[in-house]
Chain A
């Protein structure tokens, strides 16, 4: 015991926060570079490869690019146009960035460290800023909703038509896809019986069956909804460049634009974290990481590596999709959210609830093996049935014919000047 002991948990939390914030900001900068490389690869060109060490001719494959970009944008003027609502205009990027960083208070970034044996510190030390917070999923859900405020404030305060339309569209999209997102989460929460993300990972590691296999429909719904929440192509309608210039951040420049863009990248990183933690087993990999709570230093490192590799893989997939898919139209987007994703999400929830409810009876009647087989097969049957039903009940995505409210007769009337009623 010494004078520091009561403050040790706080110091540990500060160290983790420092690591996370530093790591995330750096990751956001370097992921931009990765994305540009990916774009270059898809489009068969070279991409950024020149910026290296300044004042020398060493290029380092363009690894200096993010630092050069960041420095340049900080040196630029922080311009506030006169026609905007100054307070809201300044607050919007701050809100969105602070919220997208603070989400990580509840997101684990590894398993646990081996016991350190320091008095005053909980053993083993988890890779999680707030291990005592037992509403982790709700915290993540709540803070990702705050992103809507940032977008709406920015769009409204800009006093610009592109910004306003972008803000409206964007908030409608984020709001619509939050329901499928919540339904996807609910299935996992029900199966794991906890709102803690580390407990959800542990549950998958113990059974060895990742929830992507146990709840394929939930995985699909959550995956699509998190693409929409991160506003990535094919769901990037909020800032459809060809129609809306920059969408809600049309009037933003300099550092405030940077805050928006970093927040947007962090949303993608968060989505990747959540997909991996909730559905792809987190740090677990069969035969490599083990599944218990006791780890060696090497084991902790391997688990951290496995989790990071999975997250990086999902992020690369996000980027590959961005450069291979065209953008949806707004009515298609809304159709998908309300008429496809929401019913599928409810179907998944009901299936999972029913299986979890009757699992003991099944085990008692059939034995453990067949019961487990049924519990795995039923969600897949619902998955394919739901897929087919969604395909048959909703109009196909290629149906581009406009619904005519203006008939030929109306056109003729207006030509003759008989129909001058203001629309």
Chain B
């Protein structure tokens, strides 16, 4: 709790500052409205058709690929931290939880190799082709 409390305080203060600015401006600022002012901005032309239209499927592909790679990255963080820290892999080897360092290293490299295979597949399928 001692470690988290300053973080929570910071988040609360950051939110308060943002909301405070918004409220202040709301109290001070003038209010005028008009039909033209309410229109969506389209470079001075009258707006044509709805905004909610179909868009390029490649944005979905990027989102999905991102999800896969980002989660794989997060899986690598524990290994990266444990690799050389005092209570990490060396301690586990000393306690007999892992037979030797090499097996952890080989496992991590195998994981990265699998990621690369997936990456190569995506590339060949044209997921990253944008024109």
Contact = CB atoms under 8 A, between A and B. Distances in A.
A and B interact physically = yes
Interface residues of B, number: 65
A19 B69 CA distance: 37
A41 interface: no
Interface stretch (A56-64, A72-80, A113-121, A382-390): A72-80
A376 B30 CA distance: 62
Contact of A13 (B9, B24, B105, B123): B9
A172 B62 CA distance: 7
Contacts of B59: 168, 171-172
Q: Classify the interface of chain B: helix, strand, loop or mixed.
A: helix
Given A186-B76, A193-B84, A357-B105, A160 B18 contact: no
A27 interface: no
Contact of B108 (A78, A259, A353): A353
A182 B73 contact: yes
Contacts of A308: none
A330 to B, nearest CB: 6
B13 interface: yes
A402 B130 CA distance: 11
Interface string B1-20: 01111110111011101110
A165 to B, nearest CB: 8
Contacts of A316: none
Interface residues of A, number: 83
A171 B67 CA distance: 13
A125 interface: no
B108 to A, nearest CB: 7
Interface in A39-84: 73-79, 81-83
Given A21-B17, A102-B10, A189-B77, A179 B115 contact: no
A16 B86 CA distance: 30
Interface in A323-356: 330-331, 334-335, 338-339, 342-343, 346, 349-350, 353, 356
Nearest to B130: A331
A34 interface: no
A81 B35 CA distance: 10
Nearest to A345: B73
A138 B38 contact: no
Interface in B76-112: 76-77, 80-81, 83-86, 88, 101, 105, 108-109, 112
Interface string A227-257: 0000000000000000001000011001110
Nearest to B24: A74
Contact of A14 (B9, B24, B101, B112): B9
A99 to B, nearest CB: 8
A77 B40 contact: no
A220 interface: no
A29 interface: no
* Closest 4 pairs (CB-CB, A-B): A132-B3, A255-B25, A331-B130, A101-B14
Given A98-B15, A251-B41, 14 more contacts: A17-B6, A25-B17, A73-B25, A76-B25, A94-B22, A106-B7, A160-B41, A172-B62, A194-B81, A195-B77, A254-B29, A255-B29, A330-B130, A350-B112
24 contacts: A10-B6, A13-B5, A13-B9, A21-B14, A25-B17, A74-B21, A78-B22, A81-B38, A83-B39, A101-B10, A129-B7, A130-B4, A130-B6, A161-B42, A162-B41, A164-B51, A172-B62, A186-B80, A245-B41, A255-B24, A259-B22, A339-B123, A350-B109, A350-B112
